[in-house]
Amino acid sequence: MKKKILLIYTGGTIGMMHNPDNGALEPFEFNDIYSHLPMLKLLNADIEFKTLLPLIDSSDTNPAFWVRLATMIGENYKAYDGFVILHGTDTMSYTASALSFMLENLAKPVILTGSQLPLGAVRTDGRDNIVTAVEIAADECAGEPRIQEVCIYFDNSLFRGNRTYKANAEEFSAFASPNYHRLATVGVTIHYNDFFIHQSEKKPLRVHKELNDNIALLKLFPGISQNMVRSVLSIPGLRGVVMETFGAGNAPSDPEFLNLIKEASDRGIIILNVSQCKDGGGVKMGLYETSVGLDKSGVISGGDMTTEAAITKMMYLFGTELPDDEIKYWLQHTMCGEMTTK
Residues with catalytic annotation? 13
The residue with its CB nearest to ligand ASP is 88
Min separation Cβ 249 and ligand ASP, Å: 30
Under rule CB under 6 A, residue 114 binds ligand ASP:
yes
Indicate which single residue of 9, 58, 63, 300 sits in contact with ligand ASP (rule: CB under 6 A): 58
Q: Contact region for ligand ASP (CB under 6 A) — 9-17, 192-200, 215-223, 278-286?
A: 9-17
Toward ligand ASP, which CB reaches closer, 80 or 94?
A: 94
Toward ligand ASP, which CB reaches closer, 88 or 240?
A: 88
Q: Contact region for ligand ASP (CB under 6 A) — 7-15, 76-84, 285-293, 310-318?
A: 7-15
Max alpha carbon distance in the chain (Å)? Answer: 66
Toward ligand ASP, which CB reaches closer, 13 or 132?
A: 13
Under rule CB under 6 A, residue 90 binds ligand ASP:
yes
Under rule CB under 6 A, residue 82 binds ligand ASP:
no
Indicate which single residue of 6, 89, 94, 301 sits in contact with ligand ASP (rule: CB under 6 A): 89
Min separation Cβ 22 and ligand ASP, Å: 21
Indicate which single residue of 82, 88, 282, 337 sits in contact with ligand ASP (rule: CB under 6 A): 88
Indicate which single residue of 26, 32, 57, 326 sits in contact with ligand ASP (rule: CB under 6 A): 57
Toward ligand ASP, which CB reaches closer, 65 or 257?
A: 65
| Residues making contact with ligand ASP (CB under 6 A) | 11-13, 57-59, 88-90, 114, 116
